[in-house]
Amino acid sequence: MYATRTRHARPEPFSIRPGIAERLGLAYLDWPLALSALALIAFSVFTLGEATLHDIPGSPRYYVDRQIVYAGLGLIGMVLLARIDYSRFRELRVGIYTFLCVSISLVFVFGFAAKGSRRAFDLPFFSFQPSELGKLLLVLALAGFVIDGARRGSERQRTLRYLVLGLAPAALVFLQPDLGTSLVFAVATLAVMYFGGVRWTHFAIIGGALVALVSLVLVLAPAAGVPLLKGYQEQRLTSFLNPSEDPAGAGYQQNQSVIATGSGQTTGRGDRATQTRLDFVPERHTDFIFAVIGERYGFMGAAFVLSLYALLFWRALRIVTLSKNSYGTLVAGGIAVSLLFQVFVNVGMNLGIMPITGIPLPLMSYGGSSVIATFLAIGVLESIHIQARRSQKGRFAW
Amino acid sequence: MALRIALVGGVGVALFGLLFFRLWDLQVLSGSEYLAEAKNNRTREYRVVAPRGNILARDGEVLVDSRTALALQLNPQRLSSEPAEERTELARIGSLAEMSLRKVRRTIAESEEVAAGAPVTLRKDVDYDLVYYLRENQARFPGVDVQRVFVRHYPHEAFAAHVLGGVGEVSEEDLEDPHYRELEPGDEIGRGGVEDTYDDYLRGEPGLTRIQVDAAGQPTPGGQLVSKPPVPGDNLKLSIDPDVQSAGEGALAARGLRGAFVTMNVNDGEILGMGSFPTFDPEVFTKPMTQAQVDQLQRDPVSAPLTNRASQGLYPTGSVFKIVPALAALESGIVTPSETIVDNGFMYVGSQRFQNAGGESYGAVDLVSAMRYSSDIYFYLLGLKMWDGGQLQRWASKLGFGHLSGLDLPEETEGLVPSQRWRNQLYEEGATERPWSAGDNVQLATGQGDLQASPLQMAIAYAALANEGTIVTPHVGLEIEDAAGRVLKEFTPQPQRRIEIDPAYRSALLQGLHEAAQVDGGTSYGIFGGFPVPVAGKTGTAERLGQADQSWYVVLAPYPKPRIVTAVTMEEGGFGAESAAPAALAILEAYFDKQATTVAGPNGGSPG
């Protein structure tokens, strides 16, 4: 016993043999974060496999197979990003920002229109929606600008500069038109500014301006005969307040989604899930996938999924506190808040407490751009975690 | 900073808490209400049937359209859930629809299998009295409703029935065909005729209406949710010329003999008229049929009114076939147009004696006079010379005998050209008592023996002679038009093939046919001698075992540059000039709008 220990005794700290994670460059990975993301995408594939069997006659695995490919690509991207020191992105902020704005603008020229909106390019194997990746790019670039400009100009000038930098791409996305994603851009902008230390008074002013803008768009402008939102956009935003009044329009979808979720009860209806199987709920593989989960797997399934998101958010927020530098703090904060926003708005929309805005549920809704972009964002979070842990230990594996 | 992070954490907790609470409220606390609502979700998708396109004649005359009718529909969900009570209800509904309880149940089961929850059509085309009765006694017939449907309507009754075909409910086997994927039970598809061939154009696309209904099954006001209007089918214009068609049908009906006619443009294969007797009224298929009707239409193998004898009739053709041995012998160098053969009225092949019909003898005959008098001996000799060379069979095949022509009707049969190989194979298999012999080819040279050909094939062969060697693809579909009459598609099928015919042989043959019809002494001079338009026509009298001779006539007009060909046959019609030739004349009179005068001459007496 004693002899054995001597034989295997290894001198600290120089001869640690790297484990598999370390050899992959993934030592100090935040496993709960990665695993919750994996669990979510696995649940997504499982749900799509059961619920979209008959959506495309003749190819029951259409959505599942594609979602598996997207998940695989996303995972590879996540691992690659986790291995890179995210601080590089700070140096590349101008390039990232330019790419963001150009790619979103190009959609107007080369993008294809779907359901009255131009938001994606048609690539050979899937349609690439730049605004999905843009959510991450905006955070990476804006956090860079905030850190870089921390000593230039007055505080008011700085706040104004961040707002313009963040809201310009948001406006481009809004014009596609894609109201939901532009809201995510705006929230990410505010989150980065928030963690960047912008004064509370400035936020109060921004909040006041926002209230004024909303009342202008929804109340004053239509009253003056100048509608700023497209009819369906306004209808979607307001009809959730009273869905049963308008069973034929936008409220209909939400009503059906609420009925679907509610009818799942505690344990779910499984294959007898008529609401989501029989076309009552629209867009059931994308925006309303949570209603599918609610109906098929009941409170147990839906609460499980929500818990995974809560875990994900907690780990993200924890990384904000761990970051070795303030750039990491800002990036992690921006990602954490925009994930929280997307989950809340989408699930809230499925449950009838938020308006229909067309925001996909990260890692759950079918769609390559969203799945891959979310994995990349998690890869950045992991990178921040890994860098933080390495610097804390004061030791580098290789 | 710590404050800011904590604040975001707090917001996160609050938002997740809100979602959890809402989820708990929806699913656990009030889940049963939502489940009831989901089960009771009474938005239903209804298909709105599209009206089928009309079928028009060449001049735009409507041959088939659709009228709206009332159909009795049942919504099975509204029946009682008590089995005994449901039985009474179904029986009562059955008596209303004049259906047995078993038939009602079967109809519902068939429909439920494919489109669960959709209303089941019990009977189409009910009359208003029944509707009024139903309205007054609605309470006794739960779930029964009256819907407007489209029913095929034939303004001219049996006119061109074999060309038009009919419609019928799509069968279960049809539904498995990917071609009919978007159809549902109860939908109608073309059955036979152009309704079948051009079904894709005529059918249209059903629309969709999603209707919210209340607990009583009544649509709620403003509850029409999504609506896709039905797309009516396009109209089909046929090449059928109503004058030619009615002349042909009239001539067949006047004699009352089983038979057929076809009139076709020799250059492009457009069919101007095609008919078969006895015929039927396609309207009978739009209503439930009585057993007597079924028997009359389907069970009688002799009259077989559903058979299109013009393209499905398989007959020996008699002398109208003679252009084939003539062409084969000329093109193979076996005979020249001017070469004469002495026709003594009879000849022997081995021990078998062959003679001219009626025992006539014509002396020295060349090709033209052999055609004119229809000398059998001349063609017997040609048949004998080609008995094992296969030239006759090759030319018959080149001219389209023994093959499908590509006619745009599903009803076509290819027939048979007997050959040495065919008979010898049968003999080896023991299916016949003797191998191929010279006598078989001698028989074939006059369109007898085992030859089986349809009037349409005969018309195509004569058309090839007229148009210098093009084997046309016969067709009745002319163009597809939308409701406003705009042409969406034209049908101009490519010819099947081209064959080489020496112009000298062609003109000699046409001259022989012309003299047969319009020079004194010709076999049909008595019929066509007084017709002001020059024509080239041939009589045929086919002997058939166990029944009277079959009468044939094929005519090209105008001679010498023919535009149309008409082929007529009548079973048990006797000599060609006796019944088929007068019918062909009636068709030509209608086409050229000119009457024939009577001439002195052999009328109906000349065989051939």
**Tell me: the pLDDT tens digits for B289-319?**
667 777 777 777 777 888 899 999 899 998 9
Q: Which residues of B touch A309 (CB under 8 A)?
A: 16
- Give CA torsion, residues A336, A338, A340, A341, to 10 deg: 160
**Do B252 and B332 reside in the same domain of the chain?**
yes
Residue of chain A whose Cα is closest to the Cα of B30 = A262
- Beta carbons of B31 and A263 less than 8 Å apart: yes
Q: Does residue A279 have a pLDDT over 80? A: no
pLDDT at B215 over 50: no
State the Cα–Cα distance between residues A196 and B1, nearest whole angstrom: 9
Asked if A192 and A142 count as a contact pair (C-beta separation under 8 A), the reply is yes
Cβ <8 Å between B18 and A279: no
At B333, list the tokens.
């160098």
Q: Which residue of B has its CA nearest to A58?
A: B178
Q: How many CB pairs under 8 A join A and B?
A: 124
Rounded Cα distance between A344 and A338, Å, is 10
CA–CA dist A293, B357 (Å, integer): 88
Min distance A229 CA to chain B CA atoms (Å) = 23
Reported as a single tens digit per residue, the pLDDT across B564-578 is: 999 999 998 888 888
Overall average pLDDT of the A160-172 stretch: 92
The CATH number of the domain where B285 resides is what?
3.40.710.10
State whether A294 and B212 contact (CB < 8 Å). Answer: no
Instruction: Provide the pLDDT confidence category of residue B218 given band limits of 50, 70 and 90.
Output: low
What is the pLDDT, as a whole number, of residue B175? 74
Both B501 and B463 in one domain: the answer is: yes
Mean pLDDT (chain B) is 85
Does the residue B208 lie in any domain? yes
Asked, for residue B37, whether it belongs to a domain, the answer is: no
Chain A residues with CB inside 8 Å of B34's CB? 258-259, 261-263, 265
Nearest CA distance, B122 vs chain A (angstrom)? 26
Looking at the complex, does the CB of residue B114 fall below 8 Å from at least one CB of chain A? Answer: no
pLDDT band with cut points at 50, 70 and 90 for residue A40: very high
Residues B128 and B272 in one domain: no
Taking contacts as CB-CB distances below 8 angstroms, the residues of chain A near B33 are: 262
pLDDT category, A1, cuts 50, 70, 90? very low
Question: Closest Cα of chain B to A245: distance in Å?
Answer: 11
Best residue in A343, A351, A361 for a mutation probing chain B (most B CBs within 10 Å)? A351
Could you say which of A279, A329, A340 has the minimum Cβ distance to residue B15?
A: A340
Q: Is residue B158 part of a domain?
A: yes
Question: Does B246 lie in the same domain as B233?
Answer: no
Q: Cβ contact (<8 Å) for B35 and A309?
A: no
pLDDT of residue A334: 96
SS3 letters across B514-565 = HHHHHCCCCCCHHHHCCCCCCCEEEEEEEEECCEEEEEEEEEEECCCCCCEE
Mean pLDDT of A173-201: 91
Distances B306 to A122, B199, B281, B300, B568 between C-alpha atoms, Å: 55, 19, 10, 10, 18
Mean pLDDT computed over A371-380: 96
pLDDT for B39 beyond 80:
no
Closest residue to B28, CB basis, from A266, A313, A317: A266
What is the Cα–Cα distance from A248 to A128, expressed in whole angstroms? Answer: 32
Reported confidence tier of residue A213, pLDDT bands at 50, 70, 90: confident
Answer with the residue of higher pLDDT: B141 or B156.
B156
Per-residue model confidence (pLDDT) at position B587: 93
State the nearest Cα–Cα gap between B78 and chain A, in angstroms: 19
- How many distinct structural domains can be found in chain B? 2
**pLDDT > 90: percent of chain B:** 35
Q: Is the pLDDT of residue B447 over 70?
A: yes
**A240 lies within 8 A of chain B by CB:** no
How many Å lie between the alpha carbon of B228 and the closest alpha carbon of chain A?
Answer: 14
- B160 CA: distance to closest CA in chain A (Å): 40
Domain boundaries, chain A: 28-110+118-246+326-342+358-393
pLDDT tens across B87-132, in order?
888 888 887 777 888 888 887 777 766 555 667 777 777 777 887 8
Given this model, what pLDDT does residue B211 score? Answer: 65
- Out of B27, B41, B223, name the one closest to residue A302 (CB): B27
Tell me which of A157-161, A242-246, B327-331, B451-455 is least confident. A242-246
Summarize the confidence of residues B424-440 as an average pLDDT.
87
Contact A316, A335 (CB under 8 A): yes
Residue A117 has what pLDDT? 65
**Span B17-25, mean pLDDT?**
94
Judge whether B385 lies within some domain.
yes
A228-242, A343-357, B345-359, B537-551: which range is least confident on average? A228-242
The answer to whether A261 and B27 are in contact (CB under 8 A) is yes
- Please tell me if residue B132 touches chain A, with a CB cutoff of 8 Å: no
Q: Does residue A396 register a pLDDT over 50?
A: no
CA B568 from chain centre, in angstroms, equals 18
Same domain? For B222 and B362 the reply is no
Q: What is the mean pLDDT of residues B544-561?
A: 89
- The DSSP code for B452 is B
Whether B19 contacts chain A with CB within 8 A: yes
* pLDDT of A42 higher than 50: yes
List, for residues B283-293, the tens digit of each pLDDT value. Answer: 887 766 667 77
Report the share of chain A in percent with pLDDT over 90: 49
pLDDT value at position B17?
95
Instruction: Place A270 in a pLDDT band, splitting at 50, 70 and 90.
Output: confident
Chain A window 53-82: which residues touch B at a Cβ cutoff of 8 Å? 57
What is the tens place of the pLDDT at every residue in A70-127? 999 999 999 999 989 999 999 999 999 999 999 999 888 877 666 566 777 776 666 7
Residues B196 and B267 in one domain: no
Is there a domain that residue B471 lies in? yes
Average pLDDT score over chain A:
83
According to the model, what pLDDT value does residue B475 have?
A: 94
pLDDT value, residue B85? 80
As a whole number, mean pLDDT of residues A223-236 equals 67
Same domain, residue pair B511 and B394: yes
Distance CA A171, CA B587 (A): 77
Say yes or no: B334 and B276 in one domain: yes
Dmax (CA) for chain B in angstroms is 128
Q: Please report the pLDDT score of residue A231 as a whole number.
A: 65
Asked if residue B250 and residue B217 are part of one domain, the reply reads no
pLDDT score recorded for residue B603: 46
The dihedrals phi and psi of B262, each to the nearest 5 degrees, come to -145, 135
Show residues of chain A in contact with B24, CB under 8 Å: 299, 303
- Domain that includes residue B524, residue range: 242-291+304-592
**Domain assignment present for B355:** yes
For residue B66, the domain's CATH number is: 3.90.1310.10
Structure-model confidence comparison of residues B82 and B551, the more confident one: B551
Q: Is residue A198 within 8 angstroms of chain B, CB to CB?
A: no
Question: Residue B350 falls within a domain, yes or no?
Answer: yes
Inside any domain, residue B36: no
Answer whether B19 sits within 8 Å of A351, measured CB to CB: yes
| Beta strand residue intervals within B174-330, DSSP E | 188-191, 207-213, 219-228, 235-238, 259-265, 271-277
- The pLDDT assigned to B274 comes to 94
> Which residues in A lie closer than 8 A to residue B30 (C-beta atoms)?
262
Give yes or no for residue B23 having a pLDDT over 70: yes
Does the structure show a pLDDT above 80 at A160?
yes
Which residue's entry shows tokens 């994900």? A312
Q: What is the mean pLDDT of residues A259-278?
A: 79
Averaged pLDDT, A201-211: 91
Residues B418 and B558 in one domain: yes
Q: CB distance from A311 to chain B under 8 Å?
A: no
Same structural domain for residues B278 and B132? no
Q: Do residue B268 and residue B388 come from a single domain?
A: yes
